[in-house]
Amino acid sequence: MAKLFLGLDSSTQSLSAVIIDYERRKVVYDKSLNFDQALPSYGTQNGVLPNPDPLLKHSPPLLWAEALDLLFATMKKDGVALGEILAVSGSGQQHGSVYFNSRAATALANLDSRKSLVENLQGIFSRATAPIWMDSSTAAECAEIRKALGGVKATAEQTGSDAFERFTGPQIRKFYKTEPEAYAQTASIALVSSFMASLVAGKIAPIDYGDGAGMNLMDIRKKIWHAGALKATAPDLAKKLPPLADSSKVIGPVSSYFAKKFGLNPVAQVFPWSGDNPCSAVGVGLIKTGMAAISLGTSDTYFGSMTNCRTDEQGEGHVFGLPAGGYMSLICFKNGSLAREKIRDAYGIKSWKEFGELIATKPPGNNGGILLPWFEAEIVPRVNRPGIHRFDLDEKDAAANCRAIVEAQMLSKRLHAQWMKVTPDCIYATGGASNDPALLRVMADVMNCHVLRIEISKSAALGAALMAAHGWLVQAGEKPKWETVVAGFTDPIPGSEIRPNPEAAKTYDRLIEKYAACEREALAKTG
Ligand code: XUL
């Protein structure tokens, strides 16, 4: 019998499933469901609830639950051998939080397969919506937590990151300050990843070290809840947080809800889900120190693997746990694919192919034209007031603006990743936009590094499937090596390598100075 493992990915805009046949080293199923299109009644835009305050970004947890029902129904309809799946793990957009009341644990343990998940989950939340990673409304709470922990450097050293607006701790503090009664009614707080795992397992799931590190609440070195950070965040928080766990520690079998309703193997094991970035790191095979990847998704992220924990003194970057052991360093740029889309649409460009062709009509360096695409408040560099800034760039020139946004995104990665001290031999490109050769050409030239692609752009879901396989093998008493687990799944596509062009690379060595000066000028303007 084939050894099948399922990886799910609950991202900002969609829910995806990847199933691997472990022995044959093959992805045998790959499907995505876009939230806005599949479930329009929730009224989300790109997976987020519209709000007049541009800093407030929430999503409905029931949308994610309904999407899970729909995706399982789709897999069943597609004839997927759900009864043969041995284990399930998953990935979730990081930092977002879901608030359960005291009825949740019982409701999860008794999910009734004759009803929908949404019907089963009525009345179990102490907060109707979940703040997600795009939210920037907690600057005051960040300042309070940072002060209590001893400043930027000390906060990063203890929790892996400076206090960030989207991180779960500052979000919990804001909830406690603004809705103290609802906070008091909260019995358990979940991340998006542990919320989804709780549904699949039918019990409150633990938080894994990878995603736990994105909360400003975990002691990054000891991998336990950090007492000082909990105290600085909200009262009684220790009681409301689930345990932290290694991603290979089984939670239990799947809830009978999924077995009865969709024919999932009733003894299939559920493993702790992790954040999309830690899962992507596994999904591109980042398991040895010094490897690096760039993910081009709703957010763009640049991450590398490291054995020992080294944090960013300046407080721009993050350290998360790596499900394959050790740590990953990461910087996150909020203005990723949605910003590229805004430029594409502003110039009436019909397709990404046309966008790429326009980029190629302009020379590397774009004749000095620079665009700072802060359509949304930005994370790196920290920008609280959104705005677009052009330097030596004609707003009417469509091709120059397309080239400018991609160059700015790559230059920003190069500039702000210096603390990571990773000088990789090559960069793995992943995420939806990594299929776009024009973007990868700019990436290779700006980073002055070979760029490689793996077969599947859904690296987070693939990483989750590999985590399920690894966990299952551990449970079976085998001592699987991560190199062996990922082998064959994360090999680069033959011929996909893009080598930097030495002349273009020299141009960017010069342009990075101008880019940095433009950033300083724009930051001074936005305050
Ligand atoms: C990482 C981050 C985003 C989210 C959504 O810190 O905020 O990458 O994980 O993808």
pLDDT along the chain (527 residues), means of 10: 95 97 96 98 98 96 98 98 98 98 98 98 98 97 98 98 98 98 98 98 98 98 98 98 97 98 98 97 88 93 92 95 93 96 97 96 98 96 94 98 98 94 88 91 96 88 98 96 95 91 97 97 87
Question: Which of 14, 57, 91, 95 most suits a substitution to test ligand 1, by most atoms within 8 Å of the C-beta?
Answer: 95
> Across the strands, what pairs with 428?
293, 452
Burial (CB count <10 Å: 0-12, 13-18, 19+), residue 41? exposed
* CA–CA gap between residue 487 and residue 51 (Å, rounded): 44
Tokens of 471: 């966990």
Question: Which of 94, 136, 166, 337 most suits a substitution to test ligand 1, by most atoms within 8 Å of the C-beta?
Answer: 94
pLDDT at 527: 62
Say how many Å lie between the CA of residue 171 and the centre of ligand 1.
15
Alpha helix positions (H), 417-458:
437-447
Ligand 1 touching residue 277 (CB < 6 A): yes
Alpha helix positions (H), 179-275:
180-184, 192-201, 209-212, 227-233, 237-240, 256-262
CA atoms within 13 A on the CB side of 311: 23
* CA–CA gap between residue 321 and residue 326 (Å, rounded): 6
Task: Report the nearest-CA residue for atom 1 of ligand 1.
Answer: 332
Tokens of 195: 């919320």
Ligand 1 touching residue 95 (CB < 6 A): yes
Q: What is the enclosing helix (H) or strand (E) of 452? A: strand 450-453
Ligand 1 touching residue 299 (CB < 6 A): yes
Ligand 1, atom nearest to 301 Cα: 8
Interior/surface letters 204-223, b for 16+ CB within 10 angstroms, e for the rest: bbbbbbbbbbbbbbbbbeee
pLDDT at 131: 98
Task: Report the nearest-CA residue for atom 10 of ligand 1.
Answer: 93
| Spatial contact of 490 and 284, defined as CB atoms under 8 Å apart | yes
For tokens 């397969």, what's the residue? 113
Ligand 1 touching residue 301 (CB < 6 A): yes
pTM of the model: 0.95
pLDDT at 448: 95
For tokens 């930097």, what's the residue? 500
Beta strands in 102-257 (DSSP E): 130-131, 188-191, 207-208, 218-219, 224-225, 244-245, 252-253
| Spatial contact of 141 and 166, defined as CB atoms under 8 Å apart | no
Ligand 1, atom nearest to 94 Cα: 9
* CA–CA gap between residue 485 and residue 432 (Å, rounded): 24
- Sign of the Cα pseudo-torsion (379, 278, 458, 197, in order): negative
Task: Report the nearest-CA residue for atom 6 of ligand 1.
Answer: 332
Ligand 1 touching residue 161 (CB < 6 A): no
Ligand 1 touching residue 276 (CB < 6 A): yes
CA nearest to 129, candidates 186, 182, 60, 48: 60
| Spatial contact of 462 and 283, defined as CB atoms under 8 Å apart | yes
Ligand 1, atom nearest to 133 Cα: 7
Interior/surface letters 442-461, b for 16+ CB within 10 angstroms, e for the rest: bbbbbbebebbbbebbbbbb
Say if strands 370-374 and 327-333 run parallel, antiparallel, or are unpaired: unpaired
Say how many Å lie between the CA of residue 205 and the centre of ligand 1.
21
Q: Which residues contact 507 (CB under 8 A, 6 or more apart)?
A: 363, 364, 365, 445
Task: Report the nearest-CA residue for atom 5 of ligand 1.
Answer: 93
Task: Report the nearest-CA residue for atom 9 of ligand 1.
Answer: 94
Say how many Å lie between the CA of residue 277 and the centre of ligand 1.
7
| Rg over CA atoms, the chain | 22
Ligand 1, atom nearest to 295 Cα: 8
Ligand 1 touching residue 275 (CB < 6 A): yes
* CA–CA gap between residue 131 and residue 60 (Å, rounded): 9
| Spatial contact of 44 and 60, defined as CB atoms under 8 Å apart | yes
Ligand 1 touching residue 166 (CB < 6 A): yes
Say how many Å lie between the CA of residue 247 and the centre of ligand 1.
19
Say how many Å lie between the CA of residue 269 and the centre of ligand 1.
27
Say how many Å lie between the CA of residue 396 and the centre of ligand 1.
32
Tokens of 254: 């799947």
Ligand 1 touching residue 57 (CB < 6 A): no
Say how many Å lie between the CA of residue 299 and the centre of ligand 1.
6
Task: Report the nearest-CA residue for atom 7 of ligand 1.
Answer: 133
Ligand 1 touching residue 409 (CB < 6 A): no
Ligand 1, atom nearest to 318 Cα: 6
Say how many Å lie between the CA of residue 332 and the centre of ligand 1.
6
